[in-house]
Chain A
Amino acid sequence: MRCGFLRVETDTGMDPDATPIVEAQLDTAAPDPRYREELKAVFWLMYQVRQGSKLPVMEAEAVAHSLYVSMRTDGPTTLPAIPLHSMSEYVAVHAINVALLAMALAEFDGVDHAAVREIGIAGLLHDVGMARVPTELLAKSEQLSEADRERVRQHPLTGARIIVEADAALELAAVVAYEHHLHVDGTGYPLLRYPRKPHYASQLVQLCDVYHALCSPRPFRQPWPVDLIFSFINERAGIEFNPALVTSLLALVKKQSRG
């Protein structure tokens, strides 16, 4: 399946790509005014990175900060918070939604406030490496060729470099950008020269990344219903995903939907 922008091979059953390719139904709701500035800032930020500029750190931190503030002042966050109106918005919308979901899940999991913010930045920037992947590749509605897939699979490495080279204290964001396609069982990518378990924040963002990707319409498929997403995620708990985080996410989403 393609999570976020990536096609991830799995051998554990369901394959969302097996579903017929249909015209994805985008959300027709009015743009959420709560996050207008954040969306604009993320668009701008990704544009800067795509042009080869250094990562605008202050803008990234300000977006994450603002999301954190709004998450706390606007009451419980609905997950995902921002509807997708156009596939061209996907990068920014996905970044913001993953940041929001990751912060909510971290807080739900008992992480302290300062660390929740760090996770917010990490969630926001986890796919920043995609900014350097050619846009035409991302917009493809057909299956990617092996070469294209390989180019896309470089995005964790590219993302980590972009963040590290920004020369700001964003080590967690760099680690998450690098590790968010690693699985808890040691599989996934990139291949590590120094094998290690993904960081807790990487595991958390990875889960939110997949969750939001499945919730979202893609050029090649419809969004998945929540129960199917959880069935998919549960099946991979302990293999791809941290089982405790899966349990927390399920509880969080249930709590949110009740609220």
Chain B
Amino acid sequence: MEGFTNSFGLTFGTVATASEQAWVNLGRTLEVPDDGMEPGAVAMRMSAQGKDAARAFALLLESLTGPDDVVSARVSATIVKLNVDHLTPVFQALEVSERKRAAQAAAASLDTKAMVVLLQAVGRAFDLPLSQPLLELIEKLARQTETPIMANRSRADDGFRGLADHLVERWSESQINAGGSDFEEMFAHSSTSRSSIAAEAYRVVALSLETGAIGTVVWTSLKEQSRTEQGVRELIDMLARAPEAEGGVASARVMIAEQIATPSRLTQLLSEDPIDFAAVEMMVGQLRVNATKPLLGALIDAPNRATRRALMDRLVQIGPDIAPAVQERLTDRRWYVIRNMVALLRECDCAVDPSVLDGFAVHDDARVRREVLHIRMGDTTTRAAAIGAALLDKDKLIVRAGLQAARAGFPAAAVSVLARRVMEEDFPQEFRAMSLVLLGRTANIAALDPLLAYAGGGKSLLGKAKLGAKSPEMLAALSGLARSFPADRIARVLLDVAAKSKDEQIVNALRVSSSGD
């Protein structure tokens, strides 16, 4: 391919530089004949062209190799001719990244006069027009590049171009920040470059938690601080000490905690010995239901009762939403795991399908059964059966729980169970009196036999009915008969005998009944 020389003396052909070629391409895009490629003509055509021309112009700027590039002067002259009003649409037609690349390339190659025009246009294209003071500062720096002292001129030139470059960088960043209005996005976009004197990330986060200030620098520092385990631990400590109710500071705390609190970090925190519950509290407060699995894991491995209780308290704070995760753990075979899970379901008032607990109601370990019965006794649909089961259980604590539940309402189905149990020899002695009191409060006929059995003492030699030996059980039974079965023929005989008694306690048993207790 043979070279050719255009109207302003540039030779094109096989040896053309990239910028020369880009200049020619721009001309072709603008449909300016090669011999008509002078800045005035280009400027005139540019202002009337669209995206293709803008792209060709951007490529031209990017192809410039520096102030000494032979095309740079032409492009500078073109830009000055275009002026701010006509150059602005050119940059507006470019994507943000193209705009940034082109403007930064220009800052390295164009003369200062052109750069002043270009910066104004780029600022407008980014919708951030230069303020008057900023324009005056730029113009001042541009003027300083004209100083006759060579050393100073070079420094001033560097200063001017450095500022231009920085402004373009800032404009581009502002687009990212404007698009990332939510904190997740700001956190993701925050830059992590650090200068030799940069403020430590910890310090910036501390400042945020002390002042309530939130902005890009806080997200940057948060990201930096979260890089190491130690850093995360420091953040968690800070958050745990930040006030929960102090206006702006509290909202900064929540926003930062949202970024820091994750289930895996909570797991890490829970693996420490001893566990820092202030920090755990902060994490749980943030994660809510998402804290359930780490807490359950820690609960299962907790080495002592105090820790277990503290962990359970945190789980209970979360509320009934923990139920699905807790139920998953019911497949564990260890009795204490099941016991704790069932206890959690109970303490959180979780709505549990009764069939889920069926198998555990007859678990080998009484501690499991106890928790299950607690739940079932609290549910109206299973309460009667649960009280009955409790009364039949061999575990004293379960029987006691059954009796206590019955005091609040004695289901008919359970009356016959207790009536039978109270007559059995292996029924714990300490529960007999209480059982008879309960039976004596129901008019259920099933209760009559044990009451008569405990109140009566057989017959005298003369064949008269007599009272049993005085005991708490005998007094409770007598009182029950007086209260619930005063019309029963056999009971009436015993009650009459009791009424004639000289024993104050026996007479009182009848009175207490009639007074309603």
Given A37-B133, A65-B166, A73-B159, answer yes or no on A171-B147 (Cβ-Cβ < 8 Å): no
* Bound form: Cα–Cα A62–B202 in Å: 28
Q: Which of A112, A169, A178 interacts with B207 by CB under 8 Å? A: A178
* Bound form: Cα–Cα A69–B197 in Å: 20
* B197 and A73 within 8 A (CB): no
B residues with a Cβ closer than 8 A to A are: 128, 131-134, 136-141, 144, 147, 152, 155-156, 159-160, 162-163, 166-167, 170, 173, 177, 191, 195-200, 202-204, 206-218, 220-221, 238, 241-242
* Bound form: Cα–Cα A35–B459 in Å: 122
CB-CB contacts below 8 Å: A164-198 with B = 164-172, 174-175, 178, 190, 192-194, 196
CB closest residue in chain A, given B163: A65
* A175 and B138 within 8 A (CB): no
Q: Which of B170, B210, B212, B220 interacts with A171 by CB under 8 Å? A: B220
* A44 and B199 within 8 A (CB): no
In the assembled complex, which residues on chain B have CB atoms less than 8 Å from the CB atom of A59? 131, 133-134, 137
* A69 and B141 within 8 A (CB): yes
Q: A26 contacts the other chain (Cβ, under 8 Å)?
A: no
* Bound form: Cα–Cα A201–B196 in Å: 11
* A201 and B197 within 8 A (CB): yes
CB closest residue in chain B, given A70: B144
Q: Which of A45, A161, A171 interacts with B204 by CB under 8 Å? A: A171
* Bound form: Cα–Cα A72–B156 in Å: 9
State the total of A-B contacts with C-beta under 8 angstroms.
153
Show 8 A/B contacts (Cβ-Cβ < 8 Å), sorted by A: A37-B136, A58-B170, A65-B163, A112-B196, A160-B207, A163-B217, A178-B207, A194-B209
* Bound form: Cα–Cα A178–B206 in Å: 11
* Bound form: Cα–Cα A119–B198 in Å: 10
* A171 and B221 within 8 A (CB): yes
Q: Which of B133, B136, B141, B207 interacts with A164 by CB under 8 Å? A: B207
Q: Which of A41, A115, A170, A196 interacts with B137 by CB under 8 Å? A: A41
CB-CB contacts below 8 Å: A134-186 with B = 157, 160-161, 163-172, 174-175, 178
Q: Which of B173, B211, B221 interacts with A160 by CB under 8 Å? A: B211
* Bound form: Cα–Cα A161–B221 in Å: 15
Given A69-B156, A118-B195, A169-B216, answer yes or no on A44-B131 (Cβ-Cβ < 8 Å): yes
* Bound form: Cα–Cα A40–B211 in Å: 30
* A73 and B163 within 8 A (CB): no
CB closest residue in chain A, given B180: A167
In the assembled complex, which residues on chain B have CB atoms less than 8 Å from the CB atom of A178? 207, 210-211
**Main secondary structure on A side of the interface with B:** helix
Given A41-B134, A164-B214, A167-B177, answer yes or no on A69-B144 (Cβ-Cβ < 8 Å): yes
Given A65-B163, A193-B210, answer yes or no on A175-B203 (Cβ-Cβ < 8 Å): yes
Nearest-neighbour CB distance to chain A for B156, whole angstroms, equals 5
* B241 and A174 within 8 A (CB): no
* Bound form: Cα–Cα A59–B128 in Å: 12
CB closest residue in chain A, given B218: A164
* Bound form: Cα–Cα A111–B206 in Å: 25
Given A61-B170, A63-B137, A160-B207, answer yes or no on A73-B195 (Cβ-Cβ < 8 Å): no
In the assembled complex, which residues on chain A have CB atoms less than 8 Å from the CB atom of B137? 37-38, 41, 59, 62-63, 66
| 4 extra interface residue pairs, beta carbon distance < 8 Å, beyond A59-B131, A69-B144, A172-B198 | A118-B198, A163-B217, A169-B220, A201-B199
Nearest-neighbour CB distance to chain A for B152, whole angstroms, equals 4
- Shortest 5 CB-CB contacts between residues of A and residues of B: A69-B159, A164-B213, A41-B133, A115-B197, A171-B217
Interface centre among A57, A59, A111 (most CB of B within 10 A): A59
* A169 and B204 within 8 A (CB): no
* B141 and A175 within 8 A (CB): no
Q: Say which size band chain A's interface belongs to.
A: 35 or more
Nearest-neighbour CB distance to chain B for A125, whole angstroms, equals 13
Q: A211 contacts the other chain (Cβ, under 8 Å)?
A: no
* B134 and A169 within 8 A (CB): no
Q: A5 contacts the other chain (Cβ, under 8 Å)?
A: no
* Bound form: Cα–Cα A73–B152 in Å: 5
* A166 and B210 within 8 A (CB): no
Q: A114 contacts the other chain (Cβ, under 8 Å)?
A: yes
* Bound form: Cα–Cα A192–B133 in Å: 36
* B204 and A174 within 8 A (CB): yes
* Bound form: Cα–Cα A165–B252 in Å: 12
Cβ proximity bits A106-118 to B, threshold 8 Å, 1 near / 0 not: 0000011011001
* B241 and A194 within 8 A (CB): yes
* A168 and B136 within 8 A (CB): no
CB closest residue in chain B, given A201: B197
In the assembled complex, which residues on chain A have CB atoms less than 8 Å from the CB atom of B218? 164
Nearest-neighbour CB distance to chain A for B230, whole angstroms, equals 15
* A161 and B217 within 8 A (CB): no
Interface centre among B167, B200, B203 (most CB of A within 10 A): B203
* B206 and A168 within 8 A (CB): no
Cβ proximity bits A44-74 to B, threshold 8 Å, 1 near / 0 not: 1100000000001111011101101110110
* Bound form: Cα–Cα A190–B173 in Å: 32
Q: Which of B128, B198, B206, B213 interacts with A165 by CB under 8 Å? A: B213
* A61 and B211 within 8 A (CB): no
In the assembled complex, which residues on chain B have CB atoms less than 8 Å from the CB atom of A170? 217
In the assembled complex, which residues on chain A have CB atoms less than 8 Å from the CB atom of B152? 73
Q: A85 contacts the other chain (Cβ, under 8 Å)?
A: no
* Bound form: Cα–Cα A175–B476 in Å: 78
In the assembled complex, which residues on chain B have CB atoms less than 8 Å from the CB atom of A192? 206, 210
Q: A199 contacts the other chain (Cβ, under 8 Å)?
A: yes
In the assembled complex, which residues on chain A have CB atoms less than 8 Å from the CB atom of B208? 164
* B140 and A66 within 8 A (CB): yes
CB closest residue in chain A, given B153: A73
* Bound form: Cα–Cα A163–B156 in Å: 28
Given A169-B220, A171-B220, A200-B197, answer yes or no on A161-B162 (Cβ-Cβ < 8 Å): no
In the assembled complex, which residues on chain A have CB atoms less than 8 Å from the CB atom of B217? 163-164, 168-171, 174
Nearest-neighbour CB distance to chain A for B248, whole angstroms, equals 8
* Bound form: Cα–Cα A157–B249 in Å: 12
CB closest residue in chain A, given B213: A164
In the assembled complex, which residues on chain A have CB atoms less than 8 Å from the CB atom of B144? 69-70, 73
* A172 and B197 within 8 A (CB): yes
Q: Which of A45, A157, A194, A201 interacts with B133 by CB under 8 Å? A: A45
* Bound form: Cα–Cα A61–B138 in Å: 12
Given A62-B163, A193-B241, A194-B238, answer yes or no on A167-B207 (Cβ-Cβ < 8 Å): no
* Bound form: Cα–Cα A66–B177 in Å: 26
* Bound form: Cα–Cα A70–B160 in Å: 11
* A166 and B206 within 8 A (CB): no
Nearest-neighbour CB distance to chain B for A63, whole angstroms, equals 7
In the assembled complex, which residues on chain A have CB atoms less than 8 Å from the CB atom of B134? 41, 56, 58-59, 62
* B155 and A164 within 8 A (CB): no
* A194 and B210 within 8 A (CB): yes
* Bound form: Cα–Cα A171–B241 in Å: 22
